[in-house]
Structure 1
Amino acid sequence: MREYKVVVLGSGGVGKSALTVQFVTGTFIEKYDPTIEDFYRKEIEVDSSPSVLEILDTAGTEQFALVNQQSFQDIKPMRDQIIRVKR
């Protein structure tokens, strides 16, 4: 079975955990309970093949630095797509 890893990043209090829990369990949690860090696993189907999605829901306090120019270039198409969709 193929495994995919996802990290949910963003500022604190913006709804990362609410969206993650809704995706994993189908239940929307309205109350705000600050996350320290949570880990979820969900079986999904990708290209008609059973797969496991591992999701790390972060606290929103992390800071990241790109130290590799290629990593910065690789993220540009994803950023462009987000901007295109959100307009």
Structure 2
Amino acid sequence: MHIAPRHLHPSETYDPTIEDAYRKQLVVDNRMCFVEVIDTAGQEEYATLRDQWVREGQGFILVYSIASRSTFERLEVFRQLMLRVKRNRPIFVLVGNKCDKTYEREVSREEGLAMAKSFGCEFLETSAKTSHNVERLFMNLVRALRQTRQAETGPVMLPRQGERERRRRCIIM
């Protein structure tokens, strides 16, 4: 687990041991947005880049496997790292992935809910294999980012020419 939505990419060729980036166009509440997902897969060799990505990131998905207690227990370390690097209060979503593997469960749903409550964030269980709640995760995070941006900046004003692409883009780690 790490600060990116690791294991949320249903692909046979996905290798969770390498850094990767994904860019996706989404329509959330009838408004288009571009989402960039940076997945460091928890690798320490990306520590310098990770700090830069955290500074630039707007939303963060803390992912653990429900079938691995050790990934759950490391979440606070990653959260503290992001809080230290990020100047303003970042938006987090806590995700228990691999919910299709209930027979291998090591972390209960109640434990995930309790941790999310202590972090002050939303909680979802997902499955990249079956795509359960994956779209919902990104939609909810985009909505939360939009609400935060609107609360900070006031009413939405049309951007000037050239600013449109930059302002519509969300970076999620």
- Which TM-score band (shorter chain)? 0.3 to 0.5
Which structure's CA Rg is the greater one?
2
Q: Which has the higher strand share?
A: 1
TM-score by length of 2: 0.27
Between 1 and 2, higher relative CO (CA 8 Å, sep ≥ 6) is seen in 1
